[in-house]
Amino acid sequence: MTINPELQHKIIDGKIISGTLIEQVSQSVLALNKKGVKPTLAVILIGNDPASQVYVRNKKILCEKVGIESVEYKFDESLAESDLLSLIDVLNNDTNINGILVQFPIPSHISKQKTINRISPNKDVDGLHPINAGKLMNNIECLTPCTPQGSMIMIKSVAKDISGMNAVVLGRSNLVGKPMCQLLINSNCTVTQVHSKTRDIKSFTSNAHILVAAIGIPNFIKSDWVKKDAIIIDVGINRVKKDRNETSKTKLVGDVDFEDVIDKVSSITPVPGGVGLMTVACLMNNTLQATKAQHGF
Ligand code: NAD
């Protein structure tokens, strides 16, 4: 993505912000190592989904960078649900394992909810277990989903006090939209959640001081949908053709039409180079927090 240098100051740079978090996590991991504790993340990958394989590889690389041990469990598509649940039980009971991550999507014969429910809430580094979701709702400290956690850090990097601001979240998934709303409410925003059934979405987005887009539709948000000087967090990751005449080459774009809105907004996260980098950094943070809690630090 080429950005006009005059507009560069508007970019909420995922590389810089995630770099700071990664550095903090690395320092804390070193401090734990000195106490004889080695944070360890178990990653379970089922099937051959190419995107999942890339995500798991990236997580492994970052684990190595911050000093977190990662243990990978790879299975083919045919893995039985009962075998997955038994493995999770073993990992739950293994005191050397501090975090458990099942890379989604998983094959359709395995229940996603049963899988999430089986992971010990203390090791639930994705923050998806109903106990962690309930704690988040009650504003009790817990492991929170990585993408909304990273998005909040990005928002707070440009606005220290967001109390009383109108925040609109597009999307209502358990992974992004719902926990995002909860984190914003817990920071005293006035939050509106819009989704595929919402009527006249523009009437909500055009009044948003903070707009978080997590719907998976390329360039959905245009400049007449956003409020002047809004803070825009673009969670969407969409692969599109590079240009109309080009069939083979693709590029990543967000849910927000970056070039269309950048003049109008005060700050915006780019895609790529934005929220995606924060998500994996927050996974490291969650593994660290889980380890500390398990050891009573
Ligand atoms: P999802 O498919 O589970 O949810 C999409 C949501 O969008 C739904 O709640 C749906 O109601 C809403 N929606 C669909 N069409 C809409 C419309 N026309 N108007 C308003 N709302 C609409 O997706 P998800 O897992 O929440 O992910 C959303 C996007 O974020 C995807 O592009 C995904 O790839 C991306 N994502 C990025 C990261 C990251 O690290 N940057 C992490 C997770 C997901």
CB of 235 closer than 8 Å to CB of 218: no
Tell whether the model's pLDDT for residue 4 goes beyond 80. Answer: yes
Q: What pLDDT does residue 190 have?
A: 98
Ligand 1 centre distance from Cα of residue 197 (Å)? 14
73-124 pLDDT tens trace: 999 999 999 999 999 999 999 999 999 999 999 999 999 999 999 999 999 9
One-character DSSP codes across 142-169: ----HHHHHHHHHHHHH-S--TT-EEEE
Sequence letter at residue 287: T
- Closest by CA to 166, choosing from 116, 230, 225, is 230
Tell whether the model's pLDDT for residue 291 goes beyond 90. Answer: yes
Percent of the chain exceeding pLDDT 70 equals: 99
119-142 pLDDT tens trace: 999 999 999 999 999 999 999 999
Q: What pLDDT does residue 246 have?
A: 67
175 Cβ below 6 A of ligand 1 = yes
146 Cβ below 6 A of ligand 1 = no
Q: What pLDDT does residue 5 have?
A: 87
- Closest by CA to 20, choosing from 232, 277, 291, is 277
Would you place residue 155 in the very low, low, confident or very high pLDDT band (cuts 50, 70, 90)? Answer: very high
- 126 flagged as catalytic: yes
Point out the catalytic residue in the list 103, 149, 182, 193.
103
Tell whether the model's pLDDT for residue 2 goes beyond 90. Answer: no
The CA distance from 106 to 77, in Å, is: 8
Q: What pLDDT does residue 104 have?
A: 97
147 Cβ below 6 A of ligand 1 = yes
The CA distance from 97 to 222, in Å, is: 45
pTM of the model: 0.97
- Closest by CA to 275, choosing from 11, 1, 10, is 11
200-247 pLDDT tens trace: 999 999 999 999 999 999 999 999 999 999 999 999 999 999 877 766
| Residue owning the nearest CA to atom 30 of ligand 1 | 236
- 257 flagged as catalytic: no
| Residue owning the nearest CA to atom 8 of ligand 1 | 171
- 103 flagged as catalytic: yes
Ligand 1 centre distance from Cα of residue 5 (Å)? 30
Q: What pLDDT does residue 241 have?
A: 92
- Of 176, 221, 225, 256, the residue with max ligand 1 atoms within 8 A of its CB, to mutate for a pocket test, comes to 176
CA 88 to chain CA centroid, nearest Å? 22
30-63 pLDDT tens trace: 999 999 999 999 999 999 999 999 999 999 999 9
